[in-house]
Amino acid sequence: MTTEEQVLERIARARGRKARLKDERVTLAHGAGGRATANLVEALFLDAFRNPALEALGDGALLDLGSQRLAVTTDSFVVSPLFFPGGSIGDLAVNGTVNDLAACGSRPLALTAGFVLEEGLPIADLERIVRDMAAAAERAGVPVVTGDTKVVERGKGDGCFVNTTGIGLVRPGVSLSIAGARPGDQVLVSGPIGDHGTTVMVARGELDLAADVRSDTAALGSMVEGLLDATAAVRALRDPTRGGLATVLNEIAVASSVSVLLDERTIPVRPGVAGCCELLGIDPLYVACEGRMVVVVGPEGCEAALGALRAHPLGREAAVVGEISPDPPGLVLLKTAFGGSRIVDMMVGDPLPRIC
């Protein structure tokens, strides 16, 4: 196909495609957050559970209680190893869910914690994970109100899996949606991308790679509060975890029927992360962050948004990285540092399994 044909085919898919599952067995790619995950969700889960809250496909669901709106989000964490520079599965499990609540424009009310433990896990490891969760919850200002523990036989699990579900109260008047991006809107990230995914890959020790990298895992609730206080022009928030910045922007492009034009030179990537990614042959655009937020904001609010992000300790390196354009809808395009331009597609396969 010519590039033009590819673009047209992509648009057709983005607009009207009916997802089909061709696989006969679950593969790692189904959990990677890229195209295979999207297909699984659309072909299987959406079809079975069809309801308006689920179909919005945000980072969480919104429940209208009359006088108040609740945000609800759930995430299972299977990161390997359980501990890595900058954090642990315990930090991730709290911060990841708190950030999904923040991306819905909500303040966290309560978290739940569900553990699936493998027989033989050292109690000291579990204790460390639980302490990390408690400390992260304390920092985020949210109580863990209920929990559950199951144990599976040795060889039927991998140490510790944690599910957290978060309930938040949506700020009055705030309505964020990945379908809300409009031409002219600016795209910001709150800091350098790819730190978390790179750190976990290096921590696994399989790559004979030493690098000065550290997970960015952090709870972004107070940063997002400051952002939403600073401007009413925020259209969409999303934390770029599995699948990275590229996947989040593709989801926004498709949901809003717009294109996202990125400028490679403005995307913050730490030298250590860039170096590791080059050695591994991985594009940092697809590498997970666990303490960053992608912000789509109307042009009138861009400066205020950038100022608010940079005023927060977790957003000091925030940057404008792109712009929303009307055409071609459903596509993310990257202007490279060399002056060229390429399509940034959704992630295919799973270059970085079990990073969260």
Site for a copy of itself in 280-309 (CB under 8 A): none
* Alpha carbon distance 231, 132 (integer Å): 33
* Alpha carbon distance 342, 237 (integer Å): 24
What tokens were used for 198? 């790179």
Indicate which single residue of 60, 168, 298, 301 sits in contact with a copy of itself (rule: CB under 8 A): 60
CB of 34 or CB of 298, closer to a copy of itself: 34
* Alpha carbon distance 69, 170 (integer Å): 5
* Alpha carbon distance 288, 239 (integer Å): 9
Residue with token string 């460390």: 128
Whether the bond between 122 and the residue before it is cis, its omega within 30 degrees of 0, is: no
Scanning 28-36, 200-208, 275-283, 286-294 for contacts with a copy of itself by CB under 8 A, the matching segment is: 28-36
- Report in angstroms how near the CB of residue 2 gets to a copy of itself at its nearest: 34
Q: Is 268 in the site for a copy of itself (CB under 8 A)?
A: no
Cα dist from 224 to 158, 182, 202, whole Å: 34, 21, 30
Q: Is 227 in the site for a copy of itself (CB under 8 A)?
A: no
Q: Is 51 in the site for a copy of itself (CB under 8 A)?
A: yes
Q: Is 149 in the site for a copy of itself (CB under 8 A)?
A: yes
What tokens were used for 141? 């200002």
Q: Is 155 in the site for a copy of itself (CB under 8 A)?
A: yes
- Report in angstroms how near the CB of residue 190 gets to a copy of itself at its nearest: 23
CB 36 within 8 A of CB 27: yes
* Alpha carbon distance 286, 188 (integer Å): 16
Q: Is 256 in the site for a copy of itself (CB under 8 A)?
A: no
Indicate which single residue of 1, 18, 48, 210 sits in contact with a copy of itself (rule: CB under 8 A): 48
Indicate which single residue of 12, 44, 232, 337 sits in contact with a copy of itself (rule: CB under 8 A): 44
Q: x/- binding map, residues 84-123, to a copy of itself, per CB under 8 A?
A: -------------------------xx-xxxxxxxxxxxx
* Alpha carbon distance 333, 74 (integer Å): 31
- Report in angstroms how near the CB of residue 122 gets to a copy of itself at its nearest: 6
Q: Is 206 in the site for a copy of itself (CB under 8 A)?
A: no
- Report in angstroms how near the CB of residue 1 gets to a copy of itself at its nearest: 29
Indicate which single residue of 13, 15, 156, 182 sits in contact with a copy of itself (rule: CB under 8 A): 156
Indicate which single residue of 53, 280, 311, 343 sits in contact with a copy of itself (rule: CB under 8 A): 53
Indicate which single residue of 137, 230, 245, 347 sits in contact with a copy of itself (rule: CB under 8 A): 137
Instruction: Give Cβ neighbours of residue 42 (< 8 Å, ≥ 6 apart).
Output: 19
In 3D, which of 131, 319, 322, 138 has the Cα closest to residue 221?
A: 138
What tokens were used for 286? 């697809």
